A and B are shown apart, each in its own frame.
Chain A
Amino acid sequence: NAGVTQTPKFRVLKTGQSMTLLCAQDMNHEYMYWYRQDPGMGLRLIHYSVGEGTTAKGEVPDGYNVSRLKKQNFLLGLESAAPSQTSVYFCASRTGNTNEKLFFGSGTQLSVL
């Protein structure tokens, strides 16, 4: 099993450019999440999805959009990248059971110049 796969692993953008990060999971999980991780701030929730076709805002949603057209995929979009969006982005997934743990991808290092 591949688990949770994120692409790309690294990306450099110029301010104002757009891009999409892809997360794919092969565990048939209902819930999927996008987090960003910055030094000293821990993991902060950007958006999440509780099932195919649904999305919801997390703690820091501004400047990001998401889509979950297929159960196994969760896309994170940046329409107009800003230097403040330089970060490491992690996707995670879990089953629909209440106390189930998160499974994480290996992350995407994004730099916005």
Chain B
Amino acid sequence: EDQVTQSPEALRLQEGESSSLNCSYTVSGLRGLFWYRQDPGKGPEFLFTLYSAGEEKEKERLKATLTKKESFLHITAPKPEDSATYLCAVQGYNFNKFYFGSGTKLNVKP
């Protein structure tokens, strides 16, 4: 059964303190691993898609990496505006469906 587990559930950082969020997955035939950002009261907003192990993508202070079992979202020198919940999702052999993790709630203090 396709499954996604994210850790930690919540993370508090000081501004400028770099860290990583983890997304572990089990999927039959990975077609894509997606990272989304969700602000309170809003829908998830797309950040990255990773397709194969070894792939990396960057956007401003965020960098996503992928192995055969997990993905990391690295946050370098975060700012308070990076505070949000970060969701990970996988798309497997049945490409009609996406399986989401429960998210990591990031709080960056000034």
Contacts and interface: CB of A to CB of B under 8 A. Distances in A.
Interface residues of A, number: 25
B110 interface: no
Contacts of B51: 99
Interface stretch (A11-19, A36-44, A62-70): A36-44
A20 interface: no
Interface string B66-110: 000000000000000000000101010001111011110000000
A110 B7 CA distance: 28
B65 interface: no
Instruction: Say what secondary structure dominates the interface of chain A.
Output: strand
Nearest to A103: B46
Contacts, number: 58
A31 B42 CA distance: 21
Q: Bin chain B's interface residue count.
A: 20 to 34
Given A42-B100, A104-B43, A99 B31 contact: yes
Which of A58, A92, A101, A102 has the most chain B CB atoms closer than 10 A to its own CB? A101
A101 B49 contact: yes
Given A99-B31, A104-B45, A106-B43, A43 B97 contact: no
A45 interface: yes
Interface string A72-109: 00000000000000000010100000110111111100
Given A45-B97, A107-B42, A107-B43, A98 B31 contact: yes
B34 to A, nearest CB: 6
Contact of A43 (B31, B46, B87): B87
Contacts of A48: 96-97
Contacts of B54: none
A57 B30 CA distance: 21
